[in-house]
Amino acid sequence: MNEITAQEIHYSYRTKYQTVYAVKDATFKLESGKVYAITGESGSGKSTLLSLLAGLDLPEGGELAVDGADMRAKDRNDYRRREASVVYQAYHLLPLLTVEENVMLPMELLGVAKPERKGKAAELLARVGITEEKHKKYPKMMSGGEQQRVAIARSLAAGGRILLADEPTGNLDSENGKNVIDILLSLAHDEGYLVVIVTHNPDIALQADEELRMKDGVLGRV
Amino acid sequence: MFIITNVIKNIRRNTRKSAIYFAVCVAATLTLQVYITSIDRTQRQLEDLPAAMPISARVTSLDGWRHEYLDIKQVTVDGLFESPFVEDIEMTALAHALFLMKSADTTGLSDTDYSFNLLLRGARVAAANKIELLKELAPEGITWLTGYGPEIFSGNELVCVVDEYVLELTGYSLGDSVRYTRMLEDMFDYYGEPKYVEIGALDSLKVVGIMEETYDYSVALPLETLRQICRDFEHPFTASTASFSVVDTLRLNEFKAEMKAIELVDTSSGEGAHNREVRANALGVNDATFIGAATRLQESLSLLRGFLPLVAIAIAAVGYLVAYLAVQTRREEYAVYRLLGIGKSKGFFLFFAELAALTVCGSLLGAAVSVASGIGGIRVGALVFALFAVCFTVGGVIALLRLGRTNMMTALAQQE
């Protein structure tokens, strides 16, 4: 059972000309087994909020906790290694690693033995619909939809139960987009993952269990 | 383990970049080897210069023209023999001797009565520490007493070689010890007239050789024998000629200062022209060629060494540039590693180990190639390898520290 709680968190960053208040006093609670959609205009602070949930940075104020543990007190590298993983619009697969090696990488970082991680990678790739003959291919040799599914398989490899997705269908056609969303919905509803999707797409937002809308850094429930 | 396996994998996966980086390391090491070898060779040429270009010196008159019939003071003579800068001294001295006739009956005569009674025969004496220094004396023209030869001149025995005319006059023969010898220092006064200063009288100066008549002297003594006689009678010894080789010529200034301290005037400074001391002597050193060569080598060496810090900075700059170019296209890769939970320091080390492995292998190969092709020795090769590896790694570390400042949120949010 995973739970993320935020209490009046805020975050700002400086550009060359101004200070941008990306997240303003956001308060929310996210539970496992559900899909949350964070929607909003470009620059409204959605991706920044997702990065805070991924532990890539810390909120400047307020309290962000995972299963009751304050993010400030956590080893955030270990959090990303074991508990939460992120899928991006640009896939971010390592281009010089094969599909299989990309999926095995998080397990390698956890010290899982090679035969075991090879077996688990095959299992995860099968689950997201990547056939075995493509395991030895390099990411650039695959379609966008396939790359995104490999990215999802990689994010599941370490065994974390929090899955964060930043515009996961942004580069995909509608069919591939639908496949990816189906996988994410299934992970939450069938296996109890906590899934957060940042999206512009209202159709995806409609399929989510809950939609959180951001506007100028302020988060509101729809 | 993860880092080691990934270093090997990443080098293989980034074949082209790794090859370029490796080639730069090899080329830069070779260039550095040529540079350091130049310094090393110049240094060795400078060290070998004294052997290749020996310096000799001789004592002269103040004007530098005369180097015979000098009046070289004892302080100078002793100083030359004691100096660590001086070796192979060749020295002569002149004196006068009065030999008692062999058959003379000296019963009841006082010292001063000898000459009035014509019991003494005078003879010019030349002393030297090598027989070749005695002009007009042909070694093959000497009849030696068995067991004696030209080597007596390098010793200090109470022996002498006397010409046949003096022997005939005094009645002595080969192997005799002269019963009574009065030694006088052979000097000239201010007007060039001979004047004799008594050194002392001694017994048993053994005649060990008979020489043919010469114009300048009738008796030849080992130099050290005459010095010892002077010491025994507490009389100052003066030499007539002196020449020698200079040792440790790279410290010429110290040598000249020491020569000045033993009262040899440095004529090159113009000091001789103003010196009014009658007995003063100067030092003639044939060091012009040596100084010219040594100065050129020292200038080259200091120029090469002066540029060494700049070369080190240049290597570090190349290291930085190559490392920066090698990793800047891998910012996304770095961000992905970080996203997957690799810490900042481990992420840094992952890339650093890759560059360090290439740097070490590249510079080792470069040093090995240069040593094998005779550009420099193993010692220089090892020095170059170490210098290059350090400088290049410093540049690489700076580039990687910049990589470590990558904003992950920005790098990961970028769309393809």
pLDDT at residue B318, rounded to an integer: 86
Q: Give Dmax (Cα) for chain A.
A: 52
Backbone angles phi, psi at B280, to 5 degrees: -70, 145
Mutate to test the interface with A, among B6, B15, B339, B351 (most CBs of A within 10 A): B339
Return the pLDDT at B416.
47
Torsion of CA A44, A45, A46, A48, to 10 degrees: 160
The predicted pLDDT at position B107 comes to 74
Mean pLDDT along residues A192-209: 93
How large a percentage of chain A has pLDDT more than 90?
Answer: 68
- Write b or e for each residue in A72-93: b if 16 or more Cβ atoms lie within 10 A of its Cβ, otherwise e: eebebbebbbbbbbbbbbbbbb
Report the half-sphere exposure of A36 (CA within 13 A, side-chain side). Answer: 26
> Which residues in chain A are closer than 8 Å to B413, comparing Cβ atoms?
47, 51, 88, 166
B342 touches chain A (CB under 8 A): yes
CA-angle at A169, arms to A103 and A221, nearest 5°: 110
Give the pair of three-digit tokens for residue B41.
Answer: 């060779």
The Cα of B21 is separated from the nearest Cα of chain A by a number of Å equal to: 18
Q: Which chain A residue lies closest to B14 (C-alpha atoms)?
A: A96
Secondary structure (3-state) at B59 = strand
Query: And the tokens for A175?
Result: 């069919």
Strand A69-70's sheet: what is its strand order? A69-70, A61-66, A3-14, A19-31, A218-221, A210-215, A35-40, A194-198, A162-166, A84-88
Name the residue facing B341 among A78, A91, A166 (closest C-beta): A78
Q: Per the CB < 8 Å rule, is B416 touching A90?
A: yes
List, for residues A22-58, the tens digit of each pLDDT value.
899 899 999 999 999 999 988 888 889 999 999 999 9
Whether the Cβ atoms of residue A93 and residue A154 lie closer than 8 Å to each other: yes
Per-residue pLDDT of chain B (416 residues; tens, 9 = 90+): 677 877 888 888 888 888 988 998 899 888 888 888 899 999 999 999 988 999 999 999 888 888 888 889 999 999 999 999 999 999 999 999 888 888 877 777 776 666 666 677 888 999 999 999 998 788 888 999 999 999 999 999 999 999 999 888 889 999 999 988 888 887 777 677 778 888 888 888 999 999 988 878 899 999 999 999 999 999 999 999 999 999 988 898 899 999 999 999 876 655 555 555 556 899 998 888 899 999 999 999 999 999 988 988 888 888 888 888 878 888 888 889 999 998 888 888 888 888 888 888 998 898 888 888 888 788 888 888 888 888 888 888 888 888 888 777 777 776 54
Task: State residue A64's pLDDT score.
Answer: 95
Looking at B212-280, which runs of residues are DSSP E strands?
A: 219-222, 241-246, 264-266
Q: Is B415's Cβ below 8 Å from some Cβ in A? A: yes
Cross-chain Cβ contact A77/B13 below 8 Å: no
Residues from chain A contacting residue B340 (CB–CB below 8 Å): 80-81, 85, 105-106, 109, 158
For residue B100, the model assigns a pLDDT of 84
Confidence of residue A78 (pLDDT cuts 50, 70, 90): very high
Residue of B343, B408, B416 lying closest to A56 (CB–CB): B408
